[in-house]
């Protein structure tokens, strides 16, 4: 088989240039029109047929190997964040208030590099490689939308990885089991009765009731949940009141729930509803819940696929490249791609003391990566695809 590490080095300049191109032109979730057009152009320049999705941005390219075989899908997300960039990079965002603060520019470039490598190896491949460039990851919409449009039909395995500022550049984490939590969101509306602030006894204070609800919700985590089950319940916004001297008649709060246990996840909606309703009633108020299920947990449960990815990393970079990294309560809609298809999700370290901002957490206004990891990510994706198809 071709030397994939050498091919990644060959295309290093291309991969770096594409990363910088996309970094300078970030587009927000569900607005990735120009990004999609540029990716399609890059793929067609390699001679790959590209399909778009009806009603959403993003695309998927297909590489047919020399002989028939299995099908593997590689995924890169393409959307950016509503962040004002403060990196000072010469290729910083040209789009005010938008930034690739989560590394999706690197994901695009790595996957284009993998496509270059595997296209050059076409004659050695037995099977099919699909390159999925996914929109709308930041709002957990893109993967599900693509699955609903038939993306995973006929796919035998799926691979994804994320650059990460809390892991050293040159290191990779690919682990079995729980990797990223499920994500759901809710809106609670507590309704009371307004009165003058000097006569609270004539009203029903929605602020006080809602505050009690927020505190009571945390007892689900501390007293209902098994302490061995990872669970986060966060209320992130609180909007109430009309004026400083009026008892508020309404309070609205938004929050999120994160866990790994799929059965416990499905119980959370009713527990939040009952807790909010009962606590609010104690203050003479009512509570209504609007609950939205966003994405399941990312769990690397298929041992053969996980070991194929780990073996690819070791084959390329040696045993020392693999490092431990704790599971995260953050979420990833890559989980939708794994619901009915064996898959693996890993982390590629981007932190370097020589690159300011590379040690920042993802979503930070100064976040960037050590670009030496770009050919590593391209090589890893290509090696995984080649090895999976060869087995």
| Residue 152 clears pLDDT 90, i.e. is over it | yes
Q: Is 340 helix (H, G, I), strand (E, B) or coil?
A: coil
The rounded distance, in Å, linking the Cα atoms of 241 and 81 is: 30
Position 187 scores a pLDDT of 98
Position 344 scores a pLDDT of 98
Position 1 scores a pLDDT of 84
The rounded distance, in Å, linking the Cα atoms of 23 and 368 is: 10
In the chain the first and final C-alpha atoms are separated, in Å, by: 13
The rounded distance, in Å, linking the Cα atoms of 374 and 391 is: 26
**How much is the average pLDDT of 362-384?**
98
Position 37 scores a pLDDT of 98
**How much is the average pLDDT of 356-368?**
96
Enumerate the β-bridge partners of residue 345. Answer: 160
354 catalytic per annotation: no
Which positions make up the binding site for Mn(2+)? 102, 104, 138, 162, 363
Position 337 scores a pLDDT of 98
Using N-to-C axis directions, what is the helix angle for 12-23 and 104-120, rounded to 10°? 150
**How much is the average pLDDT of 238-266?**
98
Marked catalytic residue, from 27, 137, 261, 370:
137
Position 385 scores a pLDDT of 98
79 catalytic per annotation: yes
pLDDT tens, position by position, 161-195:
999 999 999 999 999 999 999 999 999 999 999 99
CA 355 to chain centroid, in Å, comes to: 24
Position 160 scores a pLDDT of 98
Considering the chain, what percentage of its residues have pLDDT values greater than 70?
100
Mean pLDDT, the chain, rounded, equals 98
Measure Cα distances from 369 to 20, 99, 160, 187 in Å.
Answer: 11, 14, 18, 35
Q: Is-contact 247 233, C-beta < 8 A?
A: no
CA 271 to chain centroid, in Å, comes to: 27
199-227 core/surface letters (b: 16 or more CB in 10 A; e: else): eeeebbbbbbbbbbbbebbeebbeeebee
Q: Is-contact 235 191, C-beta < 8 A?
A: no
Phi/psi of residue 100, nearest 5 degrees: -80, 75
Marked catalytic residue, from 32, 42, 77, 79:
79
Measure Cα distances from 46 to 49, 61, 302, 305 in Å.
Answer: 9, 10, 32, 28
Residue appearing with tokens 């770096």: 16
Contacts of 259 (CB under 8 A, 6+ apart): 181, 182, 229, 230, 231, 232, 265, 268, 297
Which positions make up the binding site? 102, 104, 138, 162, 363
Q: Is-contact 300 179, C-beta < 8 A?
A: yes
| Residue 320 clears pLDDT 90, i.e. is over it | yes
Residue 176 C-beta-side C-alpha neighbours within 13 Å: 7
The rounded distance, in Å, linking the Cα atoms of 200 and 202 is: 5
């Amino acid at each position: 088989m071709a030397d994939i590490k050498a091919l990644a080095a060959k295309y290093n300049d291309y991969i770096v240039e594409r990363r910088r191109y996309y970094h300078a032109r970030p587009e927000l979730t569900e607005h990735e029109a120009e990004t999609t057009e540029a990716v399609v152009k890059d793929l067609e320049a390699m001679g790959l047929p590209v399909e778009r999705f009806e009603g959403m941005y993003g695309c998927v390219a297909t590489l047919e190997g020399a002989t028939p075989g299995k099908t593997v899908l590689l995924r890169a997300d393409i959307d950016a964040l509503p962040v004002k960039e403060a990196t000072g990079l010469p290729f910083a965002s040209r789009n005010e208030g938008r930034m690739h603060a989560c590394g999706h520019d690197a994901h695009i470039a790595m996957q284009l590099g993998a496509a270059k490598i595997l296209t050059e190896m076409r004659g050695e491949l037995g099977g099919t490689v699909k390159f999925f460039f996914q929109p709308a990851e930041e709002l957990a919409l893109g993967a599900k939308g693509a699955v609903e449009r038939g993306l995973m039909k006929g796919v035998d395995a799926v691979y994804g990885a994320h650059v990460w500022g809390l892991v050293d550049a040159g290191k990779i984490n690919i682990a079995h089991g729980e990797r990223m939590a499920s994500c759901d969101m809710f809106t609670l509306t507590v309704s009371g009765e307004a009165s003058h602030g000097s006569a609270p006894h004539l009203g029903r204070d929605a602020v006080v009731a809602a505050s009690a609800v927020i505190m009571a919700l945390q007892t689900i985590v501390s007293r209902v949940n098994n302490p061995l089950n990872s669970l986060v319940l966060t209320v992130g916004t609180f909007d109430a009141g009309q004026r400083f001297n009026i008892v508020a008649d309404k309070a609205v709060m938004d929050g999120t729930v994160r866990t790994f246990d799929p059965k416990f996840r499905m119980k959370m909606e009713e527990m939040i509803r009952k807790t909010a309703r009962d606590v609010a009633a104690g203050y003479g108020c009512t509570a209504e819940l609007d609950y939205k299920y966003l994405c399941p947990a990312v769990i690397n449960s298929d041992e053969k696929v996980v070991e194929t990815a780990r073996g690819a990393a070791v084959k390329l970079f040696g045993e020392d490249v693999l490092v431990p990294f704790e599971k995260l309560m953050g979420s990833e809609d890559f989980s939708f791609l794994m619901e009915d298809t064996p898959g693996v999700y890993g982390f590629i370290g981007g932190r370097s003391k020589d690159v300011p901002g590379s040690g920042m957490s993802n979503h930070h206004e100064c976040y960037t990566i050590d670009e030496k990891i770009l050919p590593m990510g391209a090589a890893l994706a290509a090696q995984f695809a080649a090895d999976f198809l060869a087995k």
